[in-house]
Amino acid sequence: MSKSKPCLVVDSLCAGYGESRILDQLSFNLDEGQSLALLGRNGVGKSTLLLSLMGLNTHQGGRIEWQSKSLLKVDTHQRAALGIGWVPQERYMFPSLTVEEHLTVIARPGRWDLASIYQLFPRLKERQQNMGNQLSGGEQQMVAIARALMVNPKLLLLDEPMEGLAPIIVQELLAVIKRLIQEEGLTVIMVEQHARMTLSITEQALVLDRGQAVYYGSSAPLLAEPDNLERLIF
């Protein structure tokens, strides 16, 4: 039986900001339902890669294909319509919108609606009429992830979702992301400084250094070899 085509193909990607090149000849594939830990030191191009997938920086070469179609001339909002959800580092809370309004303003029909989101994040149901500026950092991050899910994406991009959060909130969000990967079968790319934690819930890992891949393969060997992980990341 022939292997199905990957849903995301990044081939020899060069990208950055203006004339500055951050990603250099980067290649990887992702199958439907796979999860990828995107790791590396600060400033090596992790967030730049997610921005490239969303069409928010300068493409300098190579190709990005989503479901066998090139994304290079597709606007950012159209990428969302094609099934790519993005949770940026900046949570983009609107102080004049309630939690429920944050969730419904961009909702698309599918698996995730208000009822299922409130089941996933019970705390948001309790806060549904609170304004964006009345939420804690952890609650804002829950809204950011929930809002991306309300688009009903086939691919979810998470850019350091645990950054700056209390340990108890980190564990709560980790359980949610693990469920999305292992039970919901969502395709996920996750940038995170908590490398071991991220490797524990993902199938694949891509480690960047100076915009290039220095490791691309299964998460399990990296998790099992702390010395190698330390050398690559820290």
Predicted confidence (pLDDT) per residue in 152-206, tens digit:
999 999 999 999 999 999 999 999 999 999 999 999 999 999 999 999 999 999 9
The predicted model scores a pTM of 0.95
pLDDT tens-digit map of 44-102: 999 999 999 999 999 999 999 999 999 999 999 999 999 999 999 988 899 999 999 99
pLDDT of 2 above 70 = no
As a residue count, the chain comes to 234
121-160 b/e (C-beta count within 10 Å ≥ 16 → b): bebbeebbeebbeebeebbbbbbbbbbbbbbebbbbbbbb
pLDDT tens-digit map of 95-112: 999 999 999 998 999 999
- The two structure tokens encoding residue 46: 């992790």
